[in-house]
Chains A and B, each alone.
Chain A
Amino acid sequence: DAKTTQPPSMDCAEGRAANLPCNHSTISGNEYVYWYRQIHSQGPQYIIHGLKNNETNEMASLIITEDRKSSTLILPHATLRDTAVYYCIALIYNQGGKLIFGQGTELSVKP
Chain B
Amino acid sequence: DAGVIQSPRHEVTEMGQEVTLRCKPISGHDYLFWYRQTMMRGLELLIYFNNNVPIDDSGMPEDRFSAKMPNASFSTLKIQPSEPRDSAVYFCASSLGTGRYEQYFGPGTRLTVT
A96 to B49, CA, bound (A): 10
Stretch of A13-21, A41-49, A63-71 on the interface side: A41-49
A44 touches B99 (CB 8 A): no
Asked whether A98 is an interface residue with its Cβ less than 8 Å from the other chain, the reply is yes
A12 to B98, CA, bound (A): 37
Across chains A and B, the number of contacting residue pairs, with CB separation under 8 Å, is 60
Asked whether A111 is an interface residue with its Cβ less than 8 Å from the other chain, the reply is no
Picked from B99, B105, B108, the residue with its CB within 8 Å of the CB of A96 is B99
Main secondary structure of the interface of A (DSSP, over half): loop
- Given A99-B101, A99-B103, A101-B43: A43 and B56 within 8 A (CB)? no
- The smallest beta-carbon distance between A84 and chain B, in angstroms, is 13
- The smallest beta-carbon distance between B32 and chain A, in angstroms, is 9
B45 touches A94 (CB 8 A): no
Closest to B32 in A: A97
The size class of the interface chain B forms with chain A is 20 to 34
Best-buried of A32, A97, A99, A102 by chain B (most CB within 10 Å): A97
- The smallest beta-carbon distance between B69 and chain A, in angstroms, is 14
Asked whether B55 is an interface residue with its Cβ less than 8 Å from the other chain, the reply is yes
Picked from B91, B103, B108, the residue with its CB within 8 Å of the CB of A97 is B103
B91 touches A96 (CB 8 A): no
A43 touches B105 (CB 8 A): yes
B43 touches A97 (CB 8 A): no
A97 touches B99 (CB 8 A): yes
Residue numbers of B with Cβ under 8 A of A are 4, 31, 33, 42-45, 48, 50, 55-56, 91, 93, 95, 98-108
With A43-B91, A44-B103 given, can you name 9 additional A-B contacts, CB distance below 8 Å?
A43-B106, A43-B107, A46-B101, A94-B99, A97-B33, A97-B99, A97-B103, A100-B45, A103-B42
